Each structure stands twice: as structure tokens, then as C-alpha cells.
Amino acid sequence: MLKSLGKIGLLVPAFAVGAAWLVVLRLKDVPVPLLVVYGLLLVGLVVGLLWPGVLGRLATRRRVLAFIGVPVGLGTLGLYLGVVYYVTDLPVLLALAATACLAWAAAAFLRGRRAAGGRSARSTRRAFLAGGAGLVLGVLSGLSVDRVERQRREVLARGEQERQAAVRAPGARRRIVDGAVRVFPIHTGDTVVTYGQFYGGLDGWEGLNGYLRTLVDKAQIAVPVYAYLIDHPRHGLMLVDTGVNGEQAHDHDGYYNHNRMVSRLLTQRDEYRLTPEQDLRVRLARLGYDAKEITTVFLTHVHDDHAGGLRYLPQATVVLDRRDWEHGTVYPYSFDLVKDNLSFPAFDSGAFGAFPDSQDHFGDGSLILLPTPGHSPGHMCVLLRLDAGNVLFMGDTLYTLPHLATDQVRQMTIGGADTTHQIESARRIQHLLASGPATVPLFAHDNTRYQSDLVVSAFAHGTPGKEGLRELRRYMEAVLTSGWRLRPGHTPRFVPPASGTGLGRVELR
């Protein structure tokens, strides 16, 4: 009885580890049929080792290892090398192989001591061969460390050369200094997301269930990642969010390996796309600015597609909600250079419209911070006053203009109280926009014409003027009714890729 309970006790963690490994492989886009076959082999191996008789009267643990264990081992190694392996793993893999060989040598040597005659000689030879292989692999492991780091530095150096070439390319602007407040949208690459994660919040994409669906549902789209530069005559150069950086896009595994293996395993290598021209430092330089001049970053939330550019801004003060820093930070490496420059608003400036709490950051009414929790524990929006009106930087409270119809279009939400908070935040934003006809929303991930055509055009020179803001509001009213419902022709639909593989796109119908 105790023996059976012990086996069951081993079975549960073995299945849990196996299931987690299969989830990682699916996240890395391993085809489902291959995962099914591989998963059945894993189950057969575990059950066969614990209860060999289940596989037949002639089954033994030795045969299970030979006929199931060997294919499983080779399959695991192949899958790991094919979809998870990163160059910095090489020294570790060589060290593990060296350890295995040395252990085999020690076991063979001990068997030889106990054996007699020819068997002893054979065991001794095996011990020396295995030991020699272990020593060679150990030396290679040590030598590979420097080679691996050199290879990674070469990749980053090539990226730096491409960035410098993009800065020097013709067509850069001169900075305009005329006392006006300017806002520039900065497209810092794209992120690849599941369509349901972006638009499926009303179709079951919520909480743990939604997260699991992102692992298995491969209907994916690419959406832009925007940061916003503010050139303020009184308060200097500021950014709302910072987008992603080159390492995240081009050395993804290396970037997330700074924290722990789990971070790398549970992220997708191709989740970010960034051309040299889209690098934050390049975009700033092309507008006539220098990243070193940025004094303040308003971080709507700590997610890495908004915080990656902090690696370029070690001198900046980073303003963010304390709740996000303490409870929402997943990849702290992005913050390593600014973690001593953090500033947490108290939200003690009183009510602001439908918002019961706000923070008048500079004390002159020019920039208001508004808590909008839900997407993350301490998400916040930023309202900036221009001469012609106001702009509201949305962060990820709502992804796109159609998401303002929150009862019809909703992104994936965390679930429970967080979903409630996010919907409440959306309602407050609706009220703010309805009561302020000269206020326009600016989104971080809008993949519709509102962002790509109208916002980019209106803010091409940083000063949209009254007519530019009116045009944005007219378009908003053409998309949404006064009751925050979508008008016909503006409901998002997923269009699969023509080839059946790759990224789909979104149509508004």
C-alpha cells in the first residue's frame, strides 16, 4: 500500500512538470500533432517506469527505458535545441555533459573493482574513456564562455552600427524652439499578440483562462508600440512610456536571460519587431532631440513593451504608480538603470472630473496624472494641456479607438476585481472625453486608421492646433455614438493569413 502511494506521489509531480514543459513548447509554436505524440511518449515513459506491467507482461523497466526512454530523451533534446536553446546555454550544456561522463566513469570504475578478469578490464577502459570525454567536455565548457559572450557582443555591435546609420540618414529635422508645447508620436516597433488577447475580452479571454488561451491560440496579429515625446517650454523634455529597445527585439533570449530561465521560457522570441529607424534614440535624433535630454518619463504602467526604452534613459526621473512598481513589475532588468530615479505620485490633488483622485504633477494644471488601475495594479493615464485643447495618453487602459465602446470591444482582462477596476477606468475616461470636447485620446497600440493616418498627421509637427484636434474628434464621433457604441463599419474582425501561416490582420466591418 505504501509503495503504491509512493508511486502515485511521484506520478503527480512528474505529470505536472511534463504538462508545464508541453505548455512551453506550445508557446514556442511547436505544432499540436507533434506535441500530442511527444506527450503520449512522456506519459508512457512515466507510467512504464512506475508500473512496467501496464505496458504488457514482457515489459520491464530496462525495456521501457530502451524503447520509450531513448526516443523521449532524443525528442526532448531535439525540441529543446530547436525551440528553446540560446547560445548562452552552451557552456551549461557542455558542463552537464561533462558531469554525466565523469559520473559514468566513476560508476564504471567501481564496477571494474568488483568484477574479475576480462570484465574488469573492459570496465576500466570504459571508465578511462568516459573520464577522458568528461575532462574534454569540461575544458570546452570553460572555453565556450568567452566565445558565447563575444558572439552576443558582435550581435549588439552590428545593431549599434545600423542605428548610427539610421541617425545619419538624410531627412532629419531641426528642433523648433518657439515656446509652444509639442507632442510627437513615436512608433517604437511592433509587438505580436494573439487576436483574442487584443480584442477577445468579451469572448472568454479573461483571467487564467485568457492567459492559457494565449498559449494555444495562434491567431496572431502585429500591433504598433507607441511612446510620446512632450517638448514643454516650462518643464523640459518628457516621454509618456518608452516603447521597446533593440535588445528585446534582436537579442530577445539574451535580454530576458538577465533575470531567470523562466522569463525566457515563457516569452516568445518574435514578440517584438523593431527596425533601426524605429529605435527610440533614432526617432528622437531625427526629430532634433537627444535621449540624454529627457528629464522625465511618465510610465503608464510597468509592462515591458512600455518600459524597455528606459535602458536608454538612465538620467531621467521615472514617474509611476507605486502599486505598479511593487506589485506589477515582471521583468525588473528594464528598470536597473533608473531604479534609483523613481518617483511615486501621491494622487492627492483632489478629484478631476469623474476621477475621484488625481495628481497635478507640476502644480500648475499643465499635466494631470489619473489612476486607471485594472490592466495592471497601478496603471495610470496622463492628461496634457495644449494651447488648442487637451490630449489624454491612454497607455493600455484601452488599446484602440474602438475599445472605447467597452461593451462591444474589450481586450483580455486579468479577471475578478481587476476586470471591474479596468471597466470602471474605461467609464471614467468615457465621461472625461464626453465632458471635454477639446480632449483627444492618444493610444499606445492603436492599429486602426485613427492612429496611423489621423494622429500621425495631426501631430506631424507636434502642434495639431484647434483644427487638428477637431478633426480627431470628428473622426472619433464617426466611429462611436454618443452612447459609446460602434457605428456600422467599425467592428474589428480577424482576417487569417492567406498562406495559413504567419500573422493575420484586422479589418473593421
The Cα–Cα gap between 108 and 124 comes to 7
Closest C-alpha to 272, from 258, 292, 252, 300:
252
Q: What is the DSSP letter of 480?
A: B
Between CA 239 and CA 367 the distance in angstroms is: 12
Nearest CA-CA partner of 300 in 330, 274, 323:
323
What are residue 319's DSSP bridge partners? 298, 343
Structure-model confidence comparison of residues 70 and 329, the more confident one: 70
Share of the chain above pLDDT 70, in %: 96
Rounded to an integer, what distance in angstroms lies between the CA atom of residue 225 and that of residue 35?
A: 33
pLDDT for res 64: 87
**Cα gap 503→493, rounded to integer Å:** 14
Residue with the three cell numbers 511527444: 38
Question: What distance in Å separates the CA atoms of residue 79 and residue 85, rounded to the nearest whole number?
Answer: 9
118 pLDDT more than 60: no
Closest of 277, 272, 287 to residue 239, by C-alpha = 287
Question: What residue has cell string 506631424?
Answer: 460
Q: 430-446 burial, b if ≥16 CB within 10 A, otherwise e?
A: bebbeeeeebbbbbbbb
Residue 117 has pLDDT above 80, yes or no: no
Contact 310, 364 (CB under 8 A): no
Nearest-angstrom CA–CA distance, 406 and 374:
14
Averaged pLDDT, 445-471: 96
CB 216 within 8 A of CB 497: no
Q: What is the pLDDT of residues 306-328, one digit of tens each?
A: 999 999 999 999 999 999 999 98
The residue to which cell 512496467 is assigned: 52
Q: Which are the contacts of 402, defined by CB distance < 8 A and separation ≥ 6?
A: 408, 409, 448, 479, 480, 486, 490, 491, 492, 508
Contacts of 90 (CB under 8 A, 6+ apart): 144, 148
What SS3 class is residue 386?
coil
Alpha-carbon separation of residue 459 from 178, 181, 183, 294 (angstroms): 16, 11, 7, 19
Residue range 400-446, pLDDT digits in tens: 999 999 999 999 999 999 999 999 999 999 999 999 999 999 999 99
Nearest to 29 by CA among 72, 73, 84: 84
Positive/negative CA dihedral, 451, 456, 457, 461: positive
Q: Is the pLDDT of residue 377 over 90?
A: yes
Q: Are 276 and 350 in contact (CB under 8 A)?
A: no
Phi, psi (degrees; rounded to nearest 5) at 70? -65, -50
- Measure the CA–CA gap between 271 and 335, rounded to whole angstroms: 20
- What's the pLDDT tens digit per position in 28-38? 888 889 999 99
Q: Are 368 and 358 spatial neighbours (Cβ–Cβ below 8 Å)?
A: yes
**Strand-by-strand arrangement of the 380-385 sheet:** 359-360, 367-371, 380-385, 390-393, 439-442
Query: Averaged over 262-290, what is the pLDDT?
Result: 90
Predicted confidence band of residue 332 (pLDDT cuts 50, 70, 90)? confident
- Yes or no: say if 223 and 273 are a contact pair by the CB < 8 Å rule: no
- The alpha carbon of 51 is separated from its chain's Cα centroid by a whole number of angstroms, namely 42
Average pLDDT, the chain: 91
**Within 10 A of 2 (CB to CB), how many other CB atoms are there?**
6
pLDDT in tens, 55-68: 777 678 888 888 89
Report field, pTM of the whole predicted structure over 0.75:
yes
pLDDT computed for residue 259 by the predictor: 57
What pLDDT score does 113 carry?
67
Q: For residue 354, give every residue at least 6 positions away whose Cβ sits within 8 Å of its Cβ, in sequence order, or none.
A: 427, 428, 431, 432, 435
Task: Please report which confidence band the pLDDT of residue 2 belongs to, taking 50, 70 and 90 as the band edges.
Answer: low
When comparing pLDDT for 455 and 147, which is higher? 455
Q: Is the pLDDT of residue 86 over 70?
A: yes
The structural domains of the chain, ordered by start, are 2-144 (no CATH), 169-508 (3.60.15.10)
Confidence of residue 252 (pLDDT cuts 50, 70, 90): confident
**50 or 440: which leads in pLDDT:** 440
- Is the model more confident about 107 or about 140? 140
Residue percentage of the chain with pLDDT more than 90: 66
The pLDDT of residue 116 is above 60: no
Q: Residue 119 — very low, low, confident or very high, per pLDDT cuts 50/70/90? A: low
Question: What's the confidence (pLDDT) of residue 262?
Answer: 65
Q: What is the rounded distance in angstroms from the CA atom of residue 162 to the CA atom of residue 248?
A: 16
d(CA 320, CA 325): 7
Q: Strand 439-442 and strand 390-393: pairing?
A: parallel
pLDDT higher than threshold 90 for residue 182: yes
Lowest mean pLDDT among 130-144, 363-377, 398-412: 130-144
388: helix, strand or coil: coil
Query: What pLDDT score does 1 carry?
Result: 58
User: Which DSSP letter does residue 331 get?
Assistant: -
Instruction: For Cα atoms 160, 162, 167, give the angle at the middle one, nearest 5 degrees.
Output: 95
Q: Give the DSSP H or E segment for 227.
A: strand 220-232
Greater confidence (279 vs 208) lies with 279
Q: Assign 27 a pLDDT band (cuts: 50, 70, 90).
A: confident
pLDDT value for 392: 98
Q: What is the DSSP string of 487-499?
A: PTT--EEEE--TT
pLDDT higher than 80, residue 7: no
**Cα–Cα distance measured from residue 363 to residue 367, given in angstroms and rounded to the nearest whole number:** 8
